Amino acid sequence: MDLSFRRAFTGEQVRTPIDQNRHPPTQPKAIVLGLGHPRSYATIRSLAKAGVPVVAVHHQHRVHAHSRYLAAALRFSANPDEQLVFLERLGEEEGALLFPTNDEYLVLVSKNIARLSRRFILSTPPWEILRHLMEKTRCYKIAQEAGVRTPTFYRPRDSGELNEIVRRLDLRECQYILKTDVTTVPADARTRRFSKAAGSDAASIAVNCLEIFSRLGEFPIIEEVVPGRADRCIGVHMVVDRNHEPLMTFCVRRLKLSTYSTGGQFIHPYDAGANVYCESVHDDEAAEAARRFVRRAEYYGPITVEFRRDPRNETLTFIKADPRVVRATGLSTALGLDIPTAVYRLFTGQAVRVPNSYPDGVAWLWPTAYLTTLWRNRSNRSLLRELATLLRSFRRIKAFAQGDIRDPMPLVAAAGRMVGRRLARRMIRRRASRYPTPGQPEIPQG
């Protein structure tokens, strides 16, 4: 693709140095859709270290390319139709593997399989398969058909059924969470997350459901929360071939989630927090349940199936499926189970080397999100005690969300953004305390 075309389509072109001279482009490129998230950086690092030329494409102007492993970082329109035209022109140069790393691009590729497959190698299943994993009600039904337990959930069809469901909820013994599908509107309009705490009483749950209905045109799922701390969460990471059989499988256990403070403990609905610290484990029951699920779903490609063990009876419960790489994908490289490279080799017809086993207790950390979580919980958690606990086990951490020794800039840039946001918020609060809005009380100092 010539430079004039790139500038015409992207408005700007960002190039970063890479070890391309060490790895001549003797195999198809990888076009990574998505940039700026740990799962994108993990994918880029994995493929580049395997000698694959990597180009990243993203539409958000606030996302910048920092990784030295990129051959190029391109920007395209936020309009899906224009994105397709851009990708088709990008694919004229040579056949490449298209690698979506977030839900938005995953849906774009899946819905346009016939069109994109003329120019690209694809590892994404068609929409008639993928949609069942993106629609939570159908996803739970697939899990149940595969013999896997799911949370108790309800989906009201109208306001009368909503009132009846809310009236019957066991609010004294259980907590509930509201969920919407990732192809629709976020359940939480403020955080843009597709799940949110339902509320502590019937009235607030009904109000929250009606608010979502006003934006979505239908009611959200009301789901009973499986209780317990973050370490009750088990994720099964897999690469699945076109025969719907896992070619590669490993399990992780969550150690901390990025979440809000709740009574001095990190106890909360799982989907109200994001994984920031986890370690490898073996869980044969979860791995087998995930295998049955992907076969029933007729899925192929990378996927992480999430489970949670109920501390009351140790029952394994299906939570969700992410049919793409996830934020802790970098851990797979540290374990010798390199998911992005395995996907690339599988779908480009190359041999995939799979180790017979992997060690337990190897950890992955998202440093900036972890520190942000500790700071938000500083009023009821000892920062020094938490950091001391982390430092005692620091030798086990073999993978980080952003950057590595040879590519530190993603971590440096992320840390800079974190500090910058905190300073900006402090300046805004200080200015608001000095110059309060007329008619509003002054903000007390200290």
Domain boundaries, the chain: 3-124, 152-224, 230-407
Say what the pLDDT of residue 131 is: 95
Residues forming beta bridges with residue 100, ordered by sequence position:
33
The per-residue pLDDT for 69 is 87
Alpha helices (runs of H) in 298-408, residue ranges in sequence order: 330-334, 339-347, 367-376, 383-392
Identify the H or E element spanning 195: strand 195-197
Please check whether residue 32 is in contact with residue 56, taking contact to mean a CB–CB distance below 8 angstroms. yes
Q: What does the pLDDT read at residue 384? A: 85
Sign, CA dihedral 264-269-271-272, equals negative
**Which tens digits make up the pLDDT trace of 30-84?**
999 998 888 999 999 999 999 999 999 998 766 666 778 888 889 999 999 999 9
CB 132 within 8 A of CB 142: yes
Q: pLDDT tens across 379-396, in order?
A: 777 788 888 888 888 899
Percent of the chain clearing pLDDT 90 (strictly above): 57
Backbone φ, ψ for residue 278 (5° rounding): -150, 170
Under 8 Å between Cβ of 311 and 232: yes
Consecutive H or E run containing 72 = strand 72-75
The predicted-structure confidence for 175-203, as pLDDT tens digits, reads as follows 899 999 989 999 988 888 898 889 889 99
* Section 299-323 average pLDDT: 94
Just give the CATH number of 230-407. 3.30.470.20
Domain 3-124: give its CATH superfamily.
NAD(P)-binding Rossmann-like Domain (3.40.50.720)
Tokens 């779908």, residue located: 347
Residue 10 clears pLDDT 50, i.e. is over it: no
Q: Which of 307-321, 348-362, 417-431 has the lowest mean pLDDT?
A: 417-431
**CA dist 204 to 105, 163, 260, Å?**
34, 12, 19
Q: So what's the pLDDT on residue 379? A: 75
What is the model's pLDDT at position 19?
Answer: 39
For residue 75, the cross-strand partners are: 58
C-alpha span between 389 and 283 (Å, rounded)? 25
Residue 272: its pLDDT value, please? 55
pLDDT at 267 over 50: no
More confident residue, 56 or 376: 56
- Give the rounded percent of residues in the chain with a pLDDT score beyond 70: 79
Distance (Å, rounded) from C-alpha 280 to C-alpha 258? 19
pLDDT value, residue 312? 85
Is residue 7 very low, low, confident or very high in pLDDT (cuts 50, 70, 90)? very low
Q: Across residues 310-334, what is the average pLDDT?
A: 93
Q: CA 365 to CA 192: how far, in whole Å?
A: 23
Strand segments, DSSP code E, in 337-436 are 363-365, 397-400
pLDDT at 20 over 60: no
Least confident range of 3-7, 63-67, 376-380, 440-444: 3-7
Q: Which residues pair with 256 in a beta bridge?
A: 277
Q: What is the pLDDT, as a whole number, of residue 285?
A: 97
